Amino acid sequence: MTAAVTVAQIREPAAMRAAVLESRAAGRRVGFVPTMGALHAGHASLVEQAALECDDVVVSIFVNPSQFGPTEDFARYPRTLAADAALLAPRGVRWIFVPEAADMYPPGAATRVVVDGPARRFEGEIRPGHFAGVATVVCRLFHCVPADVAYFGAKDWQQTLVVKRMVHDLGLPIEIAVCPTVREADGLAMSSRNAYLAAEERRRAVALHEGLCAAERLWQSGGAVAAVEQAIRDPLETRGIAIDYAAVVAADTLEPLPAAGAQPPAIAIVAGRLGGTRLIDNRLLPPRRRPG
């Protein structure tokens, strides 16, 4: 009988930092996957990529209170540590970092990392303070886990831009790798929040993916930006999904595309609400065959 593989869990930031520094001092490349737990195949793909490229992989699991608004789902966010550890064990993870809130935010904590630029629009407008919470905790996590490279999923595209901006602006010594979105068989992007969807909501949720695919087709055939944005909206409207935004913008800044001249890479982004569940998704758009 083979013994079950278990992964060492570290709670103390100082112990976590010491372990990573020791590994790097021995010439090992360390990869880091920050998460809030409730792990799914999307997280597994980040971990697998990290394991391919690095000698040691660290996964953090911390449901970060400061990135949730007062009316959001912090209290009910799924906490599934045993299942998460079981998913990570066979994937070559060396350490799981599981800090407590008091380890991440000492009593009286009064410091926040506030990113402007890519954090301003979309999620930044709809969830005030969200990206300050993300940037603050990611900055703190990068101090606790001083890895060579950190892996983030493209599903949270705006988050990846915010993290890259912060790393660049603060000169943090870590590379950022962005990995492709993993999808369910019908195209719905994997998300820990999919677990909130009732069966009937789950069936309708595929509309986000359908809208983005329709947008890409129209984009490729030269549709104007407004028409491409409407193509994202159509399946959501048909299925009664409340739309927070549906837009085609510059992929690197999330600013509007220039009306004329050289076109930067574009991305279609969408956020919708089904009952109490908020879902986001995006699709990088290929260079245009002809301008719209």
Catalytic residues: 43
Q: At closest approach, how far in Å is the CB of 218 from ligand PAF?
A: 30
Quote the DSSP letter at residue 287.
P
DSSP E strands in 67-181: the ranges are: 95-97, 149-153, 175-179
The yes or no reply on residue 135 touching ligand PAF (CB under 6 A) is no
**Residue 36 or 113: which CB sits closer to ligand PAF?**
36
DSSP E strands in 36-87: the ranges are: 56-61
Q: Which two tokens stand for residue 126?
A: 């709809």
Measuring CA to CA, which residue among 25, 32, 49 is closest to residue 148? Answer: 32
Q: Which two tokens stand for residue 143?
A: 């101090």
Residue among 23, 45, 49, 64 that touches ligand PAF (CB under 6 A) = 64
Q: Which two tokens stand for residue 120?
A: 């301003």
Kind of pairing between the strands at 175-179 and 56-61: unpaired
**Residue 138 or 257: which CB sits closer to ligand PAF?**
138
Kind of pairing between the strands at 149-153 and 95-97: unpaired
**Residue 134 or 251: which CB sits closer to ligand PAF?**
134
CA distances, 255 to each of 107, 262, 269 (Å):
38, 15, 12
Measuring CA to CA, which residue among 150, 145, 144 is closest to residue 167? Answer: 150
Residue among 135, 138, 166, 189 that touches ligand PAF (CB under 6 A) = 138
Q: At closest approach, how far in Å is the CB of 39 from ligand PAF?
A: 10
The yes or no reply on residue 137 touching ligand PAF (CB under 6 A) is yes
* 256-265 CB burial, b ≥16 within 10 A, e <16: ebeeeeeeee
Q: At closest approach, how far in Å is the CB of 97 from ligand PAF?
A: 11
The yes or no reply on residue 156 touching ligand PAF (CB under 6 A) is yes
Q: Residues 7-36: x/- map of binding to ligand PAF (CB under 6 A)?
A: ---------------------------xxx
* Cβ pair 62, 99 in contact under 8 A: yes
**Residue 157 or 245: which CB sits closer to ligand PAF?**
157
Segment near ligand PAF (CB under 6 A), from 5-13, 130-138, 210-218, 244-252? 130-138
Beta bridge partners of 243: 272
**Residue 66 or 229: which CB sits closer to ligand PAF?**
66
Q: At closest approach, how far in Å is the CB of 169 from ligand PAF?
A: 17
The yes or no reply on residue 124 touching ligand PAF (CB under 6 A) is no
In angstroms, rounded to a whole number, what is the distance separating the alpha carbons of residues 290 and 292?
Answer: 7
**Residue 121 or 127: which CB sits closer to ligand PAF?**
127
Q: What does the binding site for ligand PAF look like in residue numbers (CB under 6 A)?
A: 34-36, 64, 67, 134, 137-138, 156, 159
